[in-house]
Amino acid sequence: MQRCLKWVKHLPALGVEPTVVTVDAAQAAYPVLDYSLEADVPPGVRVLRTSTVEPFGAYQKLTNRPIPHGGFANEGRVSVAQRVARFVRGNVFLPDPRRGWNRFVLKQVAALVAAGEQFDAVLTSSPPHSTQLIGLELKRRYGWRWLADLRDPWTDIYYTQTLMRTAVARWLDQRYERQVLEAADVVITTSADTGRLLQGKVPELPASKFAVLPNGYDESDFQQVEVPPTDALLLTYVGTITGQYHVGPFFAEVAACAARHPAVPLRLRFVGRVAKEIEQQLAAAGLTGRTELVEFVPHDEAVGYMQRCTALLLGIPDVAHNRGILPGKVFEYLAAGRPVICIGPEGSDAAQVLEGCQAGRSFEYEDRAAMRRYLDELVAAWQQNPTVPVPATGRSRYSRRGLTEQLVGLIRR
């Protein structure tokens, strides 16, 4: 949720006083928590934390598995208990299992209004897309200007196909989606492709209702500059990576590159959650001995890892509608000033960002010939200058401050 956090950080300086309603971390279930990010909340910003009701504790007891990233998504081989959990999640908890939070938020907002509080607008950000139903109800009750921020597709999100939804459940979810798109004053997406996908569901609505606000980077997070290593050509991936990322062919080319250049100490580092399928692919390519796995670290440490490498790896899941997947880390990668190697679909929004900033190269999942050429070019560049600098062309357009200014324009429009 860095997107909303950074908006909250910059809104007061731009003349907007936000009130944040969020869930009490002690009441909710999440795979990871990073309390270091609380430092970004400006003094004086009111943050109200509510209770919630969620089924994830029952899921853990039923499956004896940790809470999956994405809410029952990104799991590898699944047991019978997990399949049952997926069916229940996809057909009982609509739009998603976080919906139990909604009544607590509505109660909190009603108390504020009863106490005489006045608000000019409400912004809801998802996933979880059940959050948008909060905005829908607040719009109905109070008529406030409503900005619905959809960071990912809704009914087309990549893991929907794993939920074993019935026709009735699909119809209900599509109905919720359409109600939100119709009622919101502004629909914000993180990428142009996702915006086109959602707009195509309500073609009768004016295009001016839809706006693209990409994620970005906060310059203050990158004030401490760290240098890349000179004793190894280090490729680093930061974040969660699962078997859906289709990076096996790239791993094979990395191994082949290492064999072609035995004098070059080629290494890989993964910081965050690495699925078993990825570890198996690394082993199959013979890269286990060249790979370091680092578990989840706080955001400030993750930024350091982004800077302390030769090049950064970015993956786009090989799923439906993936051209519009534009991870927030793309922009932090830009700020880190390291070359970016993206493995994803041809013509993706992420590829266009990298190309526009001259910050790296994107390769289609199976384009091994292009990967091979680029890796050889990277080795040659590293041998000449281990820092392998990249230009900072155009990346300032993705600063969090500038993007928040655009958000203020949408709030006041």
238-293 per-position pLDDT tens digit: 999 999 999 999 999 999 999 999 999 999 999 999 999 999 999 999 999 999 99
pLDDT at 78: 67
The dihedrals phi and psi of 331, each to the nearest 5 degrees, come to -80, -35
Instruction: Kindly give, in sequence order, each residue whose CB lies less than 8 Å from that of residue 328, ignoring residues fewer than 6 positions away.
Output: 2, 3, 190, 215, 216
Question: What is the pLDDT, as a whole number, of residue 67?
Answer: 53
At 57 the pLDDT is 56
Encoded tokens for 105: 């938020």
Q: Is 4 within 8 Å of 18 (Cβ atoms)?
A: no
Contact 156, 180 (CB under 8 A): no
Question: Who's near 191: CB < 8 A, 6+ residues apart?
Answer: 212, 214, 324, 325, 326, 349
Least-confidence region, from 50-64, 107-121, 140-154, 373-387: 50-64
For residue 341, the model assigns a pLDDT of 98
For 113, 150, 264, 299, 324, the CA distances from 141, given in Å and listed in that order, are 11, 22, 64, 38, 33
Q: What is the pTM of this model?
A: 0.88
To the nearest whole percent, how much of the chain has pLDDT over 70? 94
Q: Which domains does the chain have, with CATH numbers?
A: 2-213 (3.40.50), 220-395 (3.40.50.2000)
Q: According to the model, what pLDDT value does residue 73 have?
A: 46
